[in-house]
């Protein structure tokens, strides 16, 4: 199937949540400025998402072929042991919001805009997740992203973007030579049906991580993923 673009969902900032994130109390002299910037962001912002469903065609010890593209990862291969299809995806805050944020001269306003861009990205990812559930009747799923584990490093962005097609034309996201995405507030990965819950965090020993979603399991790799 062709890649599907999602860009017609509403974007509205939860002002109360934004206040909490920025630690701006009610009655602060900054409330008026913040409301003005939120109005601008909601007018300008067009977060977007893109996905492509492809079938798994082949599996080796440490690779998977899907959509005629080879992904090299022992963890991904094991996680897809019982899967016959995957959903390659990309979500972004959108170039419109990035350009607007870059136009702000006040450093404090730039910081606020950065948080709003993160919220726009979450909005895009939520829209993508809900669409996949509704359109494909997905139950339990898990996600892996290039660069989240040593086993699936950042250069694996290249085959993922090859699979997704011309992302710069479709959603305004391009991949740099160092495998970073622009706009920076973008995420990419593979979502797949699974019988067991999985988070890359379970295999990541980093002691301090604000985005951690599951505790590190020091024995999981040996128990489940070690080859041979």
Q: Are 65 and 113 in contact (CB under 8 A)?
A: no
pTM: 0.94
Nearest to 148 by CA among 68, 222, 79, 46: 79
Q: How far is CA 186 from CA 20, 74, 92, in A?
A: 23, 25, 4
Cα separation, 76 vs 86, whole angstroms: 11
Q: How far apart are CA 1 and CA 122, in angstroms?
A: 25
Instruction: Please state, in angstroms and rounded to a whole number, the distance separating the CA atoms of residues 80 and 192.
Output: 8
- pLDDT for 119 equals 98
Q: Is 114 in contact with 101 (CB distance < 8 Å)? A: yes
> 152 pLDDT band (50/70/90 cuts)?
very high
Domain residue limits, the chain: 4-199
Tell me the pLDDT band of 215, cut-offs 50, 70 and 90. very high
Give the right CATH number for 4-199 from 2.115.10.20, 3.90.550.10, 3.90.1150.30, 3.40.109.40.
3.40.109.40
Q: Which of 218, 213, 187, 191 is nearest to 200 (CA)?
A: 213
Which tokens hold the place of 112?
A: 């606020």
Alpha helices of the chain — where are they, by DSSP H? 15-22, 31-44, 74-79, 95-102, 107-136, 157-164, 167-171, 220
CB 174 within 8 A of CB 109: no
Has residue 212 got a pLDDT over 90? no
Q: Is the pLDDT of residue 82 over 80?
A: yes
**Contact predicate 157/147, CB 8 Å:** yes
pLDDT, tens digit (0-9, with 9 covering 90-100), for 154-201 = 999 999 999 999 999 999 999 999 999 999 999 999 999 998 889 999
């Amino acid at each position: 199937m062709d890649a599907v673009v999602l860009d017609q969902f509403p974007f509205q900032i939860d002002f109360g949540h934004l206040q909490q994130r920025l630690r701006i109390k009610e009655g602060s002299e900054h409330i008026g400025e913040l409301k003005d910037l939120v109005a601008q962001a909601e007018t300008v912002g067009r977060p977007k998402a893109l996905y492509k469903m492809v079938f798994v065609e082949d599996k080796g010890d440490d690779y998977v072929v899907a959509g005629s593209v080879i992904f090299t990862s022992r963890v991904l291969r094991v996680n897809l042991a019982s899967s016959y299809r995957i959903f390659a995806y990309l979500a972004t805050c959108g170039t419109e919001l990035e350009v607007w944020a870059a136009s702000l001269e006040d450093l404090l306003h730039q910081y606020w805009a950065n948080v709003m861009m993160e919220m726009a990205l979450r909005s895009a990812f939520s829209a993508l997740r809900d669409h996949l559930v509704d359109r494909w009747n997905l139950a339990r799923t898990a996600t892996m992203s290039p660069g989240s584990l040593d086993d699936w490093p950042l250069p694996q962005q290249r085959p993922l973007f090859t699979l997704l097609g011309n992302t710069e034309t479709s959603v305004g996201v391009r991949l740099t030579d160092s495998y970073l995405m622009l706009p920076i507030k973008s995420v990419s990965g593979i979502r797949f049906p699974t019988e067991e819950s999985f988070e890359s965090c379970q295999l990541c020993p980093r002691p301090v991580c604000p985005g951690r979603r599951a505790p590190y399991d020091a024995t999981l790799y040996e128990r489940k993923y070690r080859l041979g």
